[in-house]
Structure 1
């Protein structure tokens, strides 16, 4: 099991084999994706916990670290675009997403397909490292 200790300014909210969901005291949720096969059940469980954290905390910004994330399958891409993101925007006030780009080209292209298909007022931007991503999230 990975070491799940976090700095004092972060709090682990949820963890499964695919992701760790962390609340940061600067006012954003960070998703750390683990290098493993993306199973639908794990992906949807992680995203449902992100939504729960957005709703419970009033946080509206997410930093999603895709560096180690494997490609998301088309059915899950469809679910994100047509189900989860609209609910997160409507129910959780989700307004801003910083994505640290995946090392894997197929994963990066899958993420682009999702974000380019969104019909919500969600601001999305891509970054190469966490410092840039956090800076963008916190400027608004």
Structure 2
């Protein structure tokens, strides 16, 4: 079922049809999106759980694995922009390393989200390679 090797040190925090939220012992959240269509309510729950974990752990870093993800819908993009991104503006910026989707439409949708993210204090970088993404995450403050 999973599209990347499950690292034994990862701890499952939350799972629903949208994907899985995994805790990495190096102090960051792994956000793994599943393939296929999502329900908006399930995406809201998924990202709200991600926010909750980041706050509980006082973490500021996440690895977004969007490699098999379908494109965000317009409704999803609006919700992410108005809720997830605005909630993320704390004293300490969030850092997100995003593994790009294989699907070209998912990449385009993510670019729109990224433009909004820049204005919200989130620092996102896009990667094709998981090792490069993790290396970048580990070196940010």
Provide TM-score, normalisation by structure 2.
Answer: 0.90
Aligned length: 137
Show structure 2 runs of 5+ residues with no match.
Answer: none
Q: Retained in 1: the 8 A contact 2:63–2:134?
A: yes
- Quote the Cα distance in structure 1 between the aligned partners of 2:126 and 2:64: 10
Structure 1 residue matching 2:120: 3-state secondary structure: coil
Q: Give 2:128's aligned residue.
A: 128
Mapped to 1, the partners of 2:24 and 2:85 lie a distance apart of: 21
Q: Distance in 2 between matches of 1:7 and 1:110?
A: 28
Following TM superposition, where does structure 1 have runs of at least 4 consecutive aligned residues deviating by more than 4 angstroms?
A: none
Q: Secondary structure of the residue that 1:89 maps to in structure 2?
A: coil
Paired with 2:36 and 2:134, the residues of 1 have a C-alpha distance of: 25
Report the Cα offset of residue 94 of structure 1: 5.0
- Long gaps (5+) in structure 1: none
TM-score (norm 1): 0.90
Question: Which residue of structure 1 aligns with residue 16 of structure 2?
Answer: 16
